[in-house]
Chain A
């Protein structure tokens, strides 16, 4: 979230699209109700199902799964053609005025530079026009045909209400009603907040769905505002934290990136990742990349990371391409992965195309699961009848199951969707021989270290010299680890502005990332968490709920990254002169000498408005990107059909699916066609269950005991299916058998002149736990990921349904 849960109460309009917070995030959703009750805010829901969120909405519009870009592109077109944009904001704070290269273009579904054989783009033509110093050229009048603004207008002019209706199935009148409501927030003193979840990310075009809402919110001037923002409602209690800590194949803590084969030394690595200034006078905060990276290496390798050895740069693995879960599954099914260590993760249930996952797991030499519960993954080799029909004698994998603790049995911090790091305390011991995850990881590491110390082996240095400064080596204390990722000074750090004074003294915890250095004098395990455990102690454990501004900022409750800032980009809540756009919702302001306010300013504190520094300080442009040249599949979002699509052609152009989405050779045959699989399916969560955990807990298992598929009345009638009938749902990947729940919640949509029915599939069952046994829903889902970050397309695929 750029904003926070409580900040939703400040919104004038709430758009829920790509999520269902009333059921998936109920206690956060209360702030939507608060906004409606206290502020007369309006709630708009766009969803394939009439969810419980829709049930309390002021307006609901149905949509075909996988067509969000068509819809949002249509809204962008509406705002631009009806001049409903926040002009001051668009001109000053977005890239609207920047000029892109003349030779960049878009033609019938493809941007320039496409290589069909590689299914990828040469993105060099997507850059800005720059002068000899690399500074981007601008046209402040926004009239140049190569200005981002004019390009945006041209690109989305094709997204007419008629074409939106033909593609999305949303009736034109409903679509226009949503447009009109959204357009009311183009004025400076009204805001819309966007709440979305996996309904937007789990598509082959997931990243571009998010780009679409970003463009929309920028045109409306809603970023950085109290009651505005783009708010990802994340799915797990610490999915934000694990992302922040870089537990993704290509990442390092704090959104640093793992070196690649093309980074032979530290200098090359840092040069490639330290962005150049693109407009004069901008902050370009990522210019500090070397400080964050060197401090990370000092945290990981301590005294062994020296200037002479490039701060142990060579000890980091270099990545040679994608190792996301879909690629790992592909490698596994080719027999190229021998070991799999699954800590608190249940891939057999979670990953798409269960048959492929099962085929991969059985090729492993060894599998280790670390979990408080018995997971389907840990028993992939066991015969569970029709739900997991395997022959154990034919599976040679060695399987280890390590029992771990859960939240109530440990100290530590979790990062909520609002970027709050909240410390929690241990209340009891784990059962029997179960141990904390931290302890299990430490013991495993120490066992490996011992083997390398006694036997030697492949490249033992990084294993033997990893900093392990924990008092009890086999059980690092969460407090020690938290202090490590906050960071500390390894030497006195002189204050450049005050000779003789120091920013931080040796051995002290750093107060923030501003004091980190690139010379090895500071260590910090995750720069964005710097400030969470300072000399003043554990800031994440703070529990002062007071809210002096009344805006829901609560600066003394826990700690929010970065720098305890509660609303990102909050400089953009003020006009160019530093005066808040909304006098009654002041987050920060310029007081004549510096930036101050109810929130921590997201800006250079002493940069006066007259100096012209812009609010989006992480970008070399200083402004927000309407045009995003780093995306894999185009600088502007374009509608492409899901890989399982009910249509023969894309109504927007000749390219049917996302041209840059990766598909493995054998997976092309895993996609279904509408003649065989005529219905569009989407997966979702129930309010009574959390993934595959709560089926192990008694009350949720009683509340929702059995797998079901939600069918629209029209479809059920055609197929002669009644409530409680057993049905078979089939996709190109497999089939599952479960109960039918016939509802009015999914209206029949008319798409390109034909009727399309939508089927809803909750995900929660499996063959272990307290509920009745059920098939794994992901038996049905397709093995293709988002073109940019490879999140599987769970939310739009084709099935057939028959009475069992």
Chain B
């Protein structure tokens, strides 16, 4: 059903194309055949959900490439999912410009480090950064872990490192992050629901 609905939309688009091209003096048959050359017709489609507000609009991501091994897909168009029962193909100004979010020039590409007192970033390797952060966390936890409170009750908490979790990340990320934070004894954790 999904495919046929979109198929219908493509046909409608070709109908508009046919009329316009027809007006320019080309034959309609030719124009319908030319639809095959539209970029979207060759794109791979992926269903996703808009990451902004909580309406949860369905979006379709159009990627260049056929997802074959070693081919790196490039997202080149984003549209509302016409089958979605809430947004029914529509998007707001933010959702309609998701492509610019994906390809934002200020997206981060490499792990970076800013040393104490420094006024600049330095590119570092993941391995170095992970080891360094793990070391800082462990040292802080080992030094400040509270096994018992003043009354002698077992409390096993670590409250000198705090955590914030992203309310735009997936359930799967949130669940694992939570599991790890509590295993470390973390109590100072919130997500944007607090604010």
Bound Cα distance from A134 to B85, whole angstroms: 47
A405-429 CB contacts (< 8 Å) to partner B:
406-408, 410, 412-418, 420-422, 424-429
Residue B53 at the chain A interface, CB threshold 8 Å: yes
Identify which of residues 585-623 in chain A touch chain B, using a CB-to-CB cut-off of 8 Å: none
Query: Given contacts A323-B188, A382-B119, A792-B195, are A25 and B109 in contact (CB under 8 A)?
Result: no
Cβ contacts A to B, 13 pairs, < 8 Å? A262-B153, A318-B154, A331-B159, A343-B177, A372-B108, A373-B108, A397-B116, A400-B132, A401-B112, A408-B75, A438-B172, A476-B172, A697-B97
Say if the beta carbon of A5 comes within 8 Å of chain B.
Answer: yes
The distance in angstroms between the C-alpha atoms of A300 and B180, with both chains bound, is 9
- Interface centre among B56, B137, B189, B192, by most chain A C-beta atoms within 10 angstroms, is B56
| Max chain A C-beta neighbours (<10 A), residue from B87, B97, B108, B185 | B108
A466–B179 CB distance below 8 A: yes
- Chain B proximity mask over A718-733: 1 for CB below 8 Å, otherwise 0: 0000000000000000
Bound: A552/B85 CA distance, A: 8
Complex formed: what's the CA distance from A693 to B174 in Å? 20
- Chain B min CB distance to A342 (Å): 5
Size of chain A's interface in residues, with CB distance under 8 A?
A: 164
Q: Which residues of A contact B174 (CB under 8 A)?
A: 238, 241-242, 245, 247
CB of B117 within 8 A of CB of A393, answer: yes
| Docked CA distance A438–B176 (Å) | 7
Residue pair B108, A371 in contact (C-beta under 8 Å): yes
Which of B61, B86, B193 interacts with A5 by CB under 8 Å?
A: B86
A696 within 8 A of B: yes
A700 touches B100 (CB 8 A): yes
User: Can you list the 6 inter-chain pairs with the closest CB atoms, starting with the nearest?
Assistant: A344-B166, A416-B56, A412-B170, A403-B108, A339-B161, A432-B109
Q: How many A-B residue pairs have CB under 8 A?
A: 485
| CB interface residues, B 63-97, toward A, < 8 Å | 63, 72-75, 80, 83-88, 90-97
Q: Which residues of B contact A404 (CB under 8 A)?
A: 108
Residues of A contacting B101 with CB < 8 Å? 406, 693-694, 696-697
18 new A-B contacts, CB < 8 A, other than A428-B75, A525-B175, are A26-B93, A27-B86, A236-B192, A248-B194, A325-B194, A398-B116, A431-B107, A432-B110, A434-B108, A436-B173, A437-B177, A438-B176, A451-B135, A452-B138, A459-B147, A481-B172, A770-B105, A791-B195
**Nearest Cβ in chain B — how far from A470, in angstroms?**
9
Contact partner of A242 (CB less than 8 A), chosen from B52, B155, B167, is B167
Complex Cα–Cα for A413 and B49 (A): 9
- Interface size, B (range): 35 or more
B-to-A contact residues, CB < 8 Å: 2, 44, 46-58, 61, 63, 72-75, 80, 83-88, 90-98, 100-102, 104-119, 121, 126, 129-138, 140-142, 144-145, 147, 149, 151, 153-180, 182-195
Given A427-B46, A768-B106: A698 and B100 within 8 A (CB)?
yes
A324 within 8 A of B: yes
* Cβ A317 vs Cβ B117 within 8 A: no
Q: In chain A between 692 and 710, which residues have their CB closer than 8 angstroms to a CB of chain B?
A: 693-694, 696-700, 703
| B54 with A236: CB separation less than 8 A | yes
User: Which residues of B are found within 8 Å of A545, using beta-carbon distances?
Assistant: 83-85
Q: Does A650 contact B (CB under 8 A)?
A: no
**B165 contact set on A, CB distance < 8 A:** 242, 247, 343-345
Q: Which residues, 447 to 464 on A, are CB-close (under 8 Å) to B?
A: 447-448, 450-452, 455, 457-459, 462-463
Residues of A near B44 (CB, < 8 A) are 427
A398 and B191 contact, Cβ closer than 8 Å, known pairs A407-B51, A437-B173: no
Q: Which residue of B lies closest to A393 (CB)?
A: B117
